[in-house]
Amino acid sequence: MSYTQLPLHHHQIPASPLVLGCMRFGGEWDGLPITSDLVVEGHRAVEAALEIGINHFDLADIYTRGKAEYVLGQVLSENPGLREQIIIQSKCGIRLVGDDEGPQRYDTSAAHILASVDGILHRLGIDYLDILLLHRPDPLSHPQEIGDVLAKLHQSGKVRHFGVSNMGSEQIRLLQKHSRVPLIVNQLEMSLDKIGFVEAGVTVNRVQAKDNVFPYGTMEYCQAEHIQLQAWGPLAQGRFTGRVVEGQRPEIELTAELVNRMAKERGVTPESIVLAWLMKHPAGIQPVIGSIRPERILACRDAVETELTRYEWYELYSASCGRRM
């Protein structure tokens, strides 16, 4: 497949085209201890990912309240040498529960970022993170303070690269202006169901643009600045790959029919078609597969080699948005 080279490769990071999202590692979002079954489940997910060439793993300090990182850390401790073969990315900046200082909130203060990174490294049992993302835009963030703390983390060797999640181009531009280290990743919700990233461009100067919440210009800015766009939720919660869609809006049912038809014609899984649609975009989008089930991960095996024609890409897009171009 002649897909666009990942922007991460521009930064000398040999990342795979697909990422395994580890949000479901560790079981439920509760305070219960990690069981041996949860660690075995993590092993199986990592093995499935490695089997199909995935070397990039995505976490966040809040995933299953820290248990996701503990589970991956246990997998690493039981597989000597694996750490240096993979890319580990985590996020910080969300306080899940209220405390003496206030309610659940976003927090990108220097103190919270530093404490979060130390916690992430401790739970994973590693010395450094390959990539740290700021999880959500904090309206009380101070760009200079963030820039200084990112530089401190880089100089200490605790974090090698940095990025953001769920941010628009102007938010990134402001942070980058005050940061001595480059921001090289932006993770956003993008899929064949969440098509705002396409709509933001094609509906310019059209009435449809008024209903789109995807930040206009973000795709173009990230491409121009060699910022890796990552898609969370790329499989659209299974809406096009086997989940029952009866009773949902007609666009979902029609798109699911098209996905399955194209998959049968090629002899690949529906998951491969859905991911291939995202990956055909010239920005070099990296889908983050958020599953812990080996069979679901393995179903994405052929995505990188599945090449959709322009006709097929637009056919799927038109079905999803419910109108002709």
What are the residue numbers of the active site?
A: 63
What angle do helix axes 67-77 and 110-124 make, rounded to 10 degrees? Answer: 40
Q: Exposed, middle or buried by CB within 10 Å (0-12, 13-18, 19+), for 15? A: buried
d(CA 290, CA 272): 15
Q: What beta strand segments (E) does the chain contain?
A: 19-21, 56-58, 87-92, 94-95, 105-106, 129-134, 159-165, 183-189, 228-232, 286-289
Q: Which amino acid is at 156?
A: S
Half-sphere exposure of residue 302, counting CA atoms within 13 Å on the CB side? 15
**Cβ neighbourhood burial of 94 (10 Å; 0-12, 13-18, 19+):** buried
Distance, CA of 318 to CA of 325 (rounded, Å):
7
DSSP state of 6: P
Token digits of residue 91: 């996020």
What DSSP designation does 277 have?
H
Rounded Cα–Cα distance for residues 199 and 214 (Å): 8
